[in-house]
Amino acid sequence: MSDHLKGLTSLHLGLLLFGGTAIFSQTLQLNALDLTTWRCLIAAALLLGWLSLRRKSLRFDNRKEWLGIVGLSVLMGLHWVTYFHSMQIAGVTVGMLALFTYPVITVFLEPVFNKTRLQIRDLFAALLVVGGVVMMTPSLNPDDPIAMGVFWGVISALLFTLRNLTMKKYYSSHSPVKTMGWQTLFVFIMLLPFSSDEVLSLDADQWLQLLLLGTIFTAAPHTLLANSLRFLKASSVSLISCLQPVYGAVLAFILLSEQPEVTTLLGGCLIIAAAANETLKKKT
């Protein structure tokens, strides 16, 4: 299997799992901060525990790399909190679509990080994404909760972009399981002082959902995404990742019986076109 195909396989599998993450913002009875805090503890225990069982190194080479991981953790933690907050105040669709302004942000920021020229093909794909997001998003009123949902979703997108570009530039040679394991642990430590005790009142079904969110829907997809960044450009990863709302819409239809609007389907077609443009590239 070529490196390009490895990256695409890892990315699309991760996106399918990412698509299910939004479901938990509606079914788990926790606020965005608590939800992020405890999913990170579960994910960290799984990832770092797996490495320990396999007797793999858990350490980074120097102090600079440790400080970098802490910085990545801050970006990731704030990204998760703002993302779930966006979905909880404005709904899954608005939150997910607002987040997917991040491919456009990535296309314009990656050349700055790598000191390269902007590719016209990537710009065209980004414009398709913008068109799809605009078509899928309902009209906004500044006094409507949707407006705040979009605001926090875009903030989340910026944080996610900065995290991805930084990890691609400085940590692509490290095991994605190790980098994600430490990031989730540091996010847990960072958010724990601000979390409430609502998690103690969860019933067995809610705890099962939290465990699923922290393992299959957090540790696995983020590790797969980190792995894909080892083989693909960050802009390619971000643009292909626009399939996530489509996967999410399908899962929401199956699990929550949500019916997408015609404009949602049309916008999704534009997003699929942008993702296909990147997926079918022969070179990264």
Which pLDDT tens digits describe the chain residue by residue (284 residues)? 788 888 888 888 888 888 888 788 888 889 999 999 999 999 999 999 999 999 888 888 899 999 999 999 999 999 999 999 988 887 777 788 788 778 778 878 888 887 777 777 777 777 887 787 777 666 666 677 777 888 898 899 999 999 988 988 888 888 888 998 999 999 999 999 999 988 888 999 999 999 998 888 887 887 788 788 778 877 778 678 777 777 877 777 777 776 766 776 787 778 777 766 666 664 44
Q: What is the pLDDT of residue 177?
A: 86
Q: Is residue 200 part of a domain?
A: yes
Q: Is residue 60 part of a domain?
A: yes
Q: What is the pLDDT of residue 95?
A: 80
Q: What is the pLDDT of residue 264?
A: 67
Q: What is the pLDDT of residue 163?
A: 92
**Cα separation of 73 and 168, whole Å?**
14
Residue 185 near residue 51 (C-beta atoms within 8 A): no
Token match 């794909």: residue? Answer: 125
Write the CB contacts of 98 (distance below 8 Å, at least 6 apart in sequence). 86, 90, 133, 137, 149, 150, 151, 152, 153, 154, 156, 157
**Cα separation of 277 and 259, whole Å?**
27
Q: What is the pLDDT of residue 148?
A: 83
Q: What is the pLDDT of residue 27?
A: 86
Q: What is the pLDDT of residue 284?
A: 46
**Cα separation of 168 and 224, whole Å?**
13
Write the CB contacts of 204 (distance below 8 Å, at least 6 apart in sequence). none
Query: Range of 85's domain?
Result: 3-279
Q: Is residue 185 part of a domain?
A: yes
Helices assigned H by DSSP within 137-243: 145-170, 176-191, 204-214, 220-228, 234-240
Token match 């065209």: residue? Answer: 124
**Cα separation of 107 and 119, whole Å?**
9
Work out how many domains the chain is built from and give that number: 1
Per-residue pLDDT tens over the stretch 220-239: 887 788 788 778 877 778 67
Q: Is residue 134 part of a domain?
A: yes
DSSP state, residue 137: S
Q: What is the pLDDT of residue 156?
A: 94
Write the CB contacts of 224 (distance below 8 Å, at least 6 apart in sequence). 10, 11, 13, 14, 17, 176
Write the CB contacts of 34 (distance below 8 Å, at least 6 apart in sequence). 195, 196, 198, 199
